[in-house]
Amino acid sequence: MREGILFIVSGPSGSGKTTLTKHLIRRFSDLKFAVSCTTRRQRPGEVDGVDYRFVSEKEFEDMIHGNRFAEWAIVHGKRYGTPIEELERAKSSGVDLILDLDVQGARSIRNKYGLGVYIFVVPSSFDVLKERLIKRQSDEKFEIIKRLGDAKREMEEIKLYDYIIINDSLDEALENLAAVVLAERCKKDRVLELIKSNY
């Protein structure tokens, strides 16, 4: 049995990365979503324990002191973190795991573990990104301005990623993301160990 692959997906707020990861998981039954913890408020339609694990500042702080995060960061003024147990379970069970992380979180995983497939999702232009943030109507005006400023800083890290998915068409972006998953699963280093025992 091979080790599970970590697929780390990042992109500015409004890039569509969360929507894409949800569609990808529906397509691949053997790909699981790593549920992060966050101190931000739950949005309409989000399910605790499925989309995120919504925790208090104190709970989050206790997890930090207990060294229970593989990575954590403050994003848009709220805390987000990936529990170590999520990564360990996937690695040992051979299940591929997808992580929806901001650039800080992705950098932490890369520096700490040195593994994973890093994918950056972005619309074709800043104007498209701005339009999406305004249309989704889940943030106040000041929050949108902050997220747009963060997006410009996040774009500076795009060169550190293995793949870039331009998300102007959900269907096309999903096909490209699925192609990345399939290609990574077929890499010789991952497949050789599986077939050696049969030849």
81 occurs within a structural domain: no
Q: Quote the percentage of the chain above a pLDDT of 90.
A: 49
**What is the reported pLDDT for 102?**
87
CATH number of the domain residue 102 falls in: 3.40.50.300
**What is the reported pLDDT for 34?**
87
**What is the reported pLDDT for 126?**
86
How confident is the prediction for the chain on average, in pLDDT?
88
82 occurs within a structural domain: no
Mean pLDDT, residues 84-102 taken together: 85
**What is the reported pLDDT for 81?**
93
59 occurs within a structural domain: no
Distance between CA 18 and CA 39 in Å, rounded? 18
**What is the reported pLDDT for 77?**
84
170 occurs within a structural domain: yes
**pTM value?**
0.83
* C-beta separation of 106 from 8 below 8 A: yes
Angle, alpha carbons 77-106-135 (nearest 5°):
55
77 occurs within a structural domain: no
45 occurs within a structural domain: no
Which sign does the torsion angle of CA 135, 140, 145, 147 carry?
A: negative
Please check the confidence at residue 3 and state whether its pLDDT lies above 90: no
75 occurs within a structural domain: no
Please check the confidence at residue 69 and state whether its pLDDT lies above 80: yes
Distance between CA 9 and CA 18 in Å, rounded? 9
**What is the reported pLDDT for 179?**
98
Number of separate domains in the chain? 1
Domain that holds residue 174: 6-35+94-196
Give the length of the chain: 199
Binning pLDDT at 50, 70 and 90, where does residue 197 land? low
Q: For 172-184, write each residue's pLDDT tens digit.
A: 999 999 999 999 9
Q: Which residue has the higher pLDDT, 186 or 195?
A: 186
Please name which of 154, 108, 192, 183 lies closest in space to residue 10, comparing C-alpha atoms: 154
Q: For 100-115, write each residue's pLDDT tens digit.
A: 988 988 998 998 887 8
| Non-local CB neighbours of 194 within 8 Å, separated by 6+ positions | 1, 2
145 occurs within a structural domain: yes
Mean pLDDT, residues 9-23 taken together: 91
* C-beta separation of 117 from 163 below 8 A: yes
Instruction: Please state, in angstroms and as integers, the Cα–Cα distance from residue 46 to each residue in 41, 42, 121, following that order.
Output: 10, 6, 21
